[in-house]
Amino acid sequence: MGDILQAITSFLWGLPLILTILFAGVYFTIGSKLFQFAYLPHILKETLMKVFKKKESDAESKGIISSFEAVSTAIGGSVGVANIGGVSTAIAVGGPGAVFWMWICALFGMIIKTAEVTLSVHYRNTDENGDPYGGPTYYMEKGLGEERNFKYWMIPAVLFGFGIFGTFFVTLQNYTISEAVSSTFDIGMIPVSITLMLLIYYMIYGGIKHISKVAAKLVPFMVLFYVLAGIFIILSHFSQIGNVFSIIFQGAFGGTAAVGGFTGAAVAQVIRMGLARSVYSNEAGWGTSPMVHSTAKTDHPVKQGIWGAFEVFVDTIIVCSITAFTIIITGKWATGLSGAELTLSAFEAGVGDFGRIIITLSIFLFGLTTTSGWYLYYEILLRHLFKNKNVKIKKWFLKFFNWFYPIPGTLMVIYAVSFGLPGQTIWYFADITSAIPTFINVVVILILSKKFFALLHDYKARYLGIGKIDPDFALFYEDEKKGSVDKKDIL
């Protein structure tokens, strides 16, 4: 079974998808004139610095939640067990060199995420309550279907939706959390899983507004808590930092020979693991977090797109790097361990039993916010699916999904405990379910790149003083469509 899943993963995360992601990153980087590099200070000013402000300038703009609540929810959805178990698995299978390719993917991922979030906000749709929702299926319908008259836009939209919902039935979060808490505190996995299920019910009962408010309070704390613990271990091994970089760069281009319990990895395997885990971690190109970003209060799509770039920066360049450095600098990467257990072992080696407790708590918090954040992705997809249905039917189905959502994760843990299910097998399923929607979404945003560049050009003119402002330029598709209808009425 494991060999079959590994073969499928290798095929899906093979050369076509890798080249597509890298091409998209290079294409958007060049087309935007190196925006994520040249304007990194501006990105941080408009995101990190605004975290400390009590009021946002776009507070009166159309939307359900604030920009910071949106990015907190998105970071909560992306900064999860992939940052702890995923990074360690990438190193365990691909060697330390995989970290380099995670960085490369993240740097390009910043502009990819900016593009998909921008398009998601631009093409978002207002429902019967006046609330905006958007995402890849929305810009497939409007950008491909309506603007480009592509009659078969439903095909990529359905395939994308199936790929996203694949993670609903084979969920990684509950299993990883239960495994970590169980091994650290000697508690059964099933009781931990049931406790987590009850907490998830608390998180999601109030929908997007409740999830976003909790995330805005919890996410900054949990990220800072984890980062400071990792920095403490890295600084305590300060003399080895140069060697860590050397190991990473050598492994990135030359593969890694067998060392200790590590079986060795070829360059192709190193690259594949680095890119796959980077996408699963920061979700750039996956099309997930743009769905929650689309509900944010903002008066310009690119303003929210910049928060997407910040999200990738925090997730991979900061949090994933902390995990990777801790694993490598403590020498645990060559022990043969993988997943969350490898990270737990590294932190335990760095600061003793307390380190293991820190990571276990981090996994618990990361997993809780990720599971809650992903609930919103599923809900927004369902809202799009039922948008033309009877309002009562839609409300009933969404309410049913709200009650049913936490159950599959717990059932999976019960199955794993009762019949045995290797953690690596679950990660293979995770890679499979992320590959399909990522490929579809990246291809679609490439097709819609002209719209993104037009929006970015307008943003530069309005807020950076670069170029001229077109007063007739429509920032949102609904306004653009309304304007077209009004012109027809006049004629």
Is it the case that residue 162 has pLDDT exceeding 50?
Answer: yes
| Lookup: tokens for 308 | 């997407």
For 400-429, the pLDDT digits (tens) are 888 888 888 888 888 777 776 655 566 666
How much of the chain exceeds pLDDT 70, in percent? 84
pLDDT exceeds 90 at position 35: yes
Q: Give the residue, 431 or 2, on which the prediction is more confident.
A: 431
Q: Could you give the number of structural domains in the chain?
A: 1
Mean pLDDT of 374-380: 86
**For 335-342, what is the mean pLDDT?**
75
pLDDT digits 0-9 by tens, 288-315:
889 988 888 888 999 999 988 988 888 8
- With 80 as the cut, is the pLDDT of residue 84 above it? no
Average pLDDT over residues 127-154: 90
Where is mean pLDDT largest: 39-53, 269-283, 314-328? Answer: 314-328
Q: Is the pLDDT of residue 283 over 90?
A: no
Predicted confidence at residue 418, as pLDDT, reads: 79
CATH of the domain at 236: 1.20.1740.10
What's the pLDDT at 319?
86
- Mean pLDDT, the chain, integer: 82
pTM of this structure: 0.84
Q: What is the mean pLDDT of the segment spanning 330-334?
A: 81
> Which of 154-163, 234-243, 343-352 has the lowest average pLDDT?
343-352
Whether the pLDDT of residue 81 is over 80: the answer is: no
Residue 25 banded pLDDT, cuts 50, 70, 90:
very high
Mean pLDDT confidence for 183-211: 84
User: What is the per-residue pLDDT for 238?
Assistant: 87
Q: Which of 59-73, 336-350, 422-436 has the highest mean pLDDT?
A: 336-350
238: containing domain: 2-51+58-490
Predicted confidence at residue 487, as pLDDT, reads: 47
25 vs 354, higher pLDDT: 25
- Average pLDDT for 26-43: 93
Work out the pLDDT band at 490, boundaries 50, 70, 90. very low
366 or 302, which is more confident: 302
pLDDT tens, position by position, 421-454: 655 566 666 667 778 888 899 999 999 999 999 9
Instruction: Confirm if 98 and 277 have CB atoms less than 8 A apart.
Output: yes
Q: Which of 14-18, 94-98, 257-261 has the highest mean pLDDT?
A: 94-98
More confident residue, 32 or 358: 32
| Segment 354-368 mean pLDDT | 79
